[in-house]
Amino acid sequence: MTITYLGHSCFKIASKGYAIILDPYTEGSVPGYKPVQETADRILCSHRHQDHCGAKGAALWEDVKASPFTVETIQTWHDDRQGALRGADTIHILDDGQCRAAHLGDLGCDLTPDQKDKLRNLTALLIPVGGYYTIDAAQANKLADELTPDVIVPMHYRGEGFGYDVIGTLDAFTALRSDVKEYPSSTLELTPGMERQTAVLRPQNI
């Protein structure tokens, strides 16, 4: 399984010639990011906000292929008031038979013990860290420590020239981690039992 960080909360996850795009943003919705211009077999969105469900920038291939992925969902909230502020959020768990990757979307609340149990034994956890709209760096760090995935991939943060002004920076999260590995590219290959790490991928679309 390979994951490619396109930017903000948008990833392309591929296995055995089949690709899924998660949370593509609408062109112009997130400051500093180039439009999403990708092709895949399937598009998944955690919720309907424009910075997470811009499907027009992500085209589907015309030929229909068998998917190696099973997709499990967990229904959560975009805020800490059971959706009263920003609505619902859907976590997607992708499993290709060798690796499991969970994309938390715009998670803004604590998870229940049952929900956490469903997120055990992950190869990769794609987790928002910016706060304001989502859980913040400290909350993300605590959750990552509880779930103990092999690889933690931060998303939904502000950087030099990109991201929303109101959300936090990446280093607010990485400063809390002792296992940070910075990658020069946007893509990481996942393998079973890989080294425990917080993987900082370069957003492709900046």
Q: Which residues contact 85 (CB under 8 A, 6 or more apart)?
A: 78, 79
Query: CATH number for the 2-200 domain, one of 3.60.15.10, 3.40.50.2300, 3.30.450.20, 3.20.20.70?
Result: 3.60.15.10
Tokens of 184: 């020069």
Q: How far apart are CA 140 and CA 135, in angstroms?
A: 6
Q: Check pLDDT > 80 for residue 62.
A: no
Domain ranges of the chain: 2-200
Pick the closest to residue 96 from 141, 146, 41 (CA basis).
41
- Confidence (pTM): 0.96
Q: How far apart are CA 170 and CA 71, in angstroms?
A: 28
Q: Check pLDDT > 90 for residue 201.
A: yes
Is residue 10 within 8 A of residue 153, CB to CB? The reply is no
Tokens of 139: 């909350």
As a whole number, mean pLDDT of residues 151-167 equals 97
78-117 residue pLDDT tens: 999 999 999 999 999 999 999 999 999 999 999 999 999 9
